[in-house]
Amino acid sequence: MNIIQAQNPFFEKYSTPHGTIPFDKIKNEHYEPAIREGINRHDAEIEAIINNPAAPTFANTIAAYEKSGRLLNHVSTVFGNLLSAETNDDMQELAKTIMPLLSEHSNNVTLNEKLFARIKTVYQQKEQLNLTGEQTKLLEDIYNSFIRSGANLEGEDKEKYRALTTELSLLTLQFGENNLKETNDYKLVLTDKAQLAGLPQSIIDAAAETAQEKGVEGWVFTLQAPSYGPFMMYADNRDLRRQLYMAYNTKCSHNDATDNLEIVKKLANTRLSLAQLMGYSNFAEYNLKERMAENSDAVYKLLNQLLDAYTPTAKQEYAEVEALARRMQDNDFTVMPWDWSYYSHKLKDQKFQIDDEMLRPYLELSRVKEGVFGLATRLYGITFKENTDIPVYHKDVNAYDVFDKDGKFLAVLYTDFHPREGKRSGAWMTSYKDQWIDEATGENSRPHVSIVMNFTKPTKEKPALLTFSELETFLHEFGHSLHGMFANSTYESLSGTNVYWDFVELPSQFMENFATEKEFLHTFARHYQTGELIPDELVQRIIDSSNFNVAYACLRQLSFGLLDMAWYTRTTPFDGDVKEFEKKAWAKAQILPTVEEACMSTQFSHIFAGGYSAGYYSYKWAEVLDADAFSLFKQKGIFNSEVAASFRENILSKGGTEHPMVLYKRFRGQEPTIDALLIRNGIRK
């Protein structure tokens, strides 16, 4: 081992609890050498598979390939995760070197003709091999992933494939960087107290602290969710609401250094070129081949079914909000997008006497955490114990040992709750180490998972008090983490959340159902000052108001799904006006008036820089599944241990070892329909 390797923590066996990542020892200069060494080791492992003189078998080719590249996978996982959760200028610069390296290496592997020939030989013999179900699934997945990554391409087409994938990795990186920079750079500075009219004191206090942090006088509002959302909901000053709305909804479309308009076109066209190179008419058809939906017809069928079911109610909801606004303003008043949160909140308050500020005192973060962890204990018998010996990557992060109902170690869970400059917006679950079983020793190597969010921060006077939607977000990401923590597969690539993209949101959205269940809320929702349990009548108001503007919210999600599909069902390259294309794409799902300058595509990371290209419909697809699944809990009891055990056994622990519909039917006894969702949302009685 040379000196650089000797000083690089990635090359040592970790002496941390459970072999967790020694974040305290990792420096930016460690990543590139570790990535390059990881590539070298993976190349050597691939060579060993290719040069094996024995005939290709499942063990010496498929299982060997599955186990290869561990160091590379590990280092790139740490780097990629921190690029989202705790980045800095140096890391972003480093990413411009590392991402193309990874893309080139990935292509070198999947376009390796000798390796593919061995994989193909095993695949062609699969009927005679007497494989287990999981082995068959692994073999099929690996074979298909090679086919989908250009293994069957010849000569010049292989080089085209390399060029396209390299370009994609750089474009997605640039798209995300621009988005983060515009989000971080914007601040609305207010110095006149009158401009704060309507805002709750907790939001004013947080804005004062932000101003202090940024070294300016007065109050600062940002495009981060805990600042932007409440401002749009409560600020009486319409001009300021419009100003903040326009800042948010024109992100990366200002014809400057962080503009994403051209990048959007390039991303859409590069994905189209890739799909057509692979023999598909468009990117959606290529991508949906590995989804439950299978093709764009099935996606459009779902989107249109929901559009038909929800549009009449959504129009009524808009009319009701506008009627209230006109009573408060004048008869010619039009509710614009920057008015929607403000007036719909007023209407909700009028109808149900409930708002986020009323609920916040009962949703103190540490109690919410106890409630969410306690829910998992009640359903599955698992327990959580903070372990301060586990290194973390930021002082806001906590690490927990998770134990199964029999007391055995199950997983490590990291929690990272608050916004900061090095963290992208939104919320997500990720994994630092997936689960697998060592076939030689039988040892079950347990996962290390993380949930990352951007919740309201504590202030000097108050602890972190969450909004109700932040409670739902917590439950959502925690549902993903359960999918990771319960993983029990032989093979890492089939483990945990490594499932079809339109199935991955089922465990997360399923957990959100508990947010409106009185029995659950009563386990933790106590006033942070008095300790008083949330009053029954307030819980009832939460339940009564849970479907408030639900149809509008559904159409908003459908509009994103339609926009996504419009970009990726194109069969010819795009060189038009991005904003015009967007307006046309989602027109039938728009309820609010259109704003000419606004542009979603330039900041829509999910479909341009994330994994949801031709996949945003997955949220609604999974919502159909989660409503259908939770209806069984409602029928048998929301904490029913038998139903929970079945959900764990058939859905959460199985990962991608079988087709998701097979798993779902094994749990539910039937295929899902949209009926349970329509009933839950009050669209159908």
Determine the angle formed by the axes of helices 155-185 and 261-277, rounding to 10 degrees. Answer: 150
182's tokens? 């515009």
What is the DSSP-derived secondary structure letter of residue 127? G
Cα–Cα dist 114/50, whole Å: 6
Contacts of 586 (CB under 8 A, 6+ apart): 559, 560, 562, 563, 566
Contacts of 377 (CB under 8 A, 6+ apart): 383, 384
Cα pseudo-dihedral 594, 596, 600, 602, rounded to 10: 170
Question: Residue 428 in 3-state DSSP?
Answer: strand
Partnered with residue 386 across adjacent β-strands are 400
Q: How big is the CA angle at 391 (ends 648 and 415), to the nearest 5 degrees?
A: 40
Residues in the chain: 685
Please report, for residues 530, 586, 605, 607, the alpha-carbon distance to residue 611 in angstroms, rounded to integers and kept in the order given.
44, 21, 9, 7
| SS3 assignment for 587-631 | HHHCCCCCCCCCCCHHHCHHHHCCCCCCCCCHHHHHHHHHHHHHH
The residue to which tokens 């990535």 are assigned? 35
Q: 6: number of CA atoms within 13 Å, CB side?
A: 3
The answer to whether the beta carbons of residues 427 and 473 sit under 8 Å apart is yes
Cα–Cα dist 670/262, whole Å: 46
Cα–Cα dist 656/504, whole Å: 10
587's tokens? 């027109």
Please report, for residues 7, 36, 497, the alpha-carbon distance to residue 100 in angstroms, rounded to integers and kept in the order given.
25, 12, 25
Buried b (16+ CB within 10 A) or exposed e, 181-210: ebbbebebebeeeebbebbbebbbbbbbbb
Determine the angle formed by the axes of helices 201-214 and 225-234, rounding to 10 degrees. Answer: 140
Q: How big is the CA angle at 400 (ends 428 and 26), to the nearest 5 degrees?
A: 75
357, 477, 512, 517: which is the annotated catalytic residue? 477
Residue type, 32: E
Please report, for residues 176, 589, 601, 605, 619, the alpha-carbon distance to residue 609 in angstroms, rounded to integers and kept in the order given.
6, 24, 11, 5, 17
End-to-end distance of the chain based on CA atoms, in angstroms? Answer: 69
Partnered with residue 397 across adjacent β-strands are 416
The residue to which tokens 């999910």 are assigned? 606
Cα–Cα dist 497/484, whole Å: 6
Cα–Cα dist 542/593, whole Å: 29
179's tokens? 């988005």
Active site residue 477: yes
The answer to whether the beta carbons of residues 242 and 136 sit under 8 Å apart is no
Q: What is the CA radius of gyration of the chain?
A: 25
**Catalytic residue set:** 477
